Amino acid sequence: MQMNIKGKKILITGGAGFIGSNIAEKLLKMGAKVRVMDNLLTGRRSNIAEFLDNPNFEFFEKDITNISDCRAACDGIDLVTHQAALGSVPRSIINPSATNDINSGGFVNMLFAAKEAGIKRFVYASSSSVYGDEPNLPKREEKIGKPLSPYAVSKLTNELYAAVFGQTYGMEVIGLRYFNVYGPKQDPEGVYAAVIPLFLKHLFNNEAPFINGDGEQTRDFTYVDNAVQANLLGLTTTNNLAYNQVYNVAVGEKFSVNEMYEMIRSYLNKDIAAIHREERSGDIRDSLADISKAKNLLGYSPQFTFKQGLPLTIEYFKNEFQ
């Protein structure tokens, strides 16, 4: 993998975001030349501040909804990993047009700009939300249900476009269905903050966090280094069978939100009970991934279980909040 990465010029869209900035850090350590494209709508300049003086790093403050920006970002690039998106199921329910414009329209812009630039390999972030109302566990890539939110529709649309671009233009497009990724650099601020940094923020402030519904909904919580590994494998695989596929990126274990909260509370030694409120519209009840396809075709092997990744995340945010 190191041999296939060193010296390559790699574009990361959304590279100032949570997952994108972690990918950038790893690629730079492996000797790649990294260009980050981000409009800083949800990304944070602080996530890439440590890279700005690196001669192998470029930052393009540009927007994927602008095709000219996409073409400029793709100029001279060997490989693309597309992480840019407007996240959050609740936000998509409130503003479906913005979600569609960025997640669907921006995705097509990037695919087409990459195709025009002669870039064959295009790895992109999909989501476990595409499983929708499919009730069976574990989730397998070939069996999805009806989407439950505009965000889920946008991610499913990405997968459909990816398949068409692979077939029509001979591109090597690889989709990664992330399952509840968490870890360092995840944004704890705002009404759409992810659950783990939000819980940590409240507990560090000795406040009771909210849990949506009864808290017994389950998730396959995935430490960010596992998602980074999946991207690196997608960018470097030489397995012809791996192209133009989508893969679950997870651990293959599930925990309830209540269990997760108790683990955090116990680690921080905080005697603070969470406050339960109404369920959140558009949420999947239970989530657990079958990761055998990613293992077999990409060589994916998650290095961090939830119980291993959570303490690393807590220690990172301890420095952020204190």
Please identify every residue annotated as catalytic. 151
Q: Check if the beta carbon of residue 139 is closer than 8 Å to that of residue 128.
A: yes
Asked if residues 222 and 251 have their Cβ atoms less than 8 Å apart, the reply is yes
Question: For residues 177 and 126, is the Cβ–Cβ distance under 8 A?
Answer: yes
Q: Is-contact 83 12, C-beta < 8 A? A: yes
Q: DSSP letter at 275?
A: E
For the residues of 158-205, what is the DSSP string, one character each? HHHHHHHHHHHH--EEEEEEE-SEE-TT----STT--HHHHHHHHHHT
In the three-class reduction of DSSP (H, G, I as helix; E, B as strand; rest coil), residue 118 is classed as coil
**Per-residue b or e along 82-100, where b marks 16 or more CB atoms closer than 10 Å to that residue's CB:** bbbbbbbbbbbbeeeeebb
Which residues, 6+ apart, have CB-to-CB distance to 147 below 8 Å?
129, 130, 132, 153, 156
User: In whole angstroms, what is the distance from residue 21 CA to residue 73 CA?
Assistant: 17
Placement of tokens 């209540």 in the chain: 258
Angle formed by the axes of helices 18-29 and 224-236, to 10°?
Answer: 60
Q: Is the dihedral of CA 195, 199, 205, 208 positive or negative?
A: positive
Cα–Cα distance, 159 to 174 (Å, whole number): 9
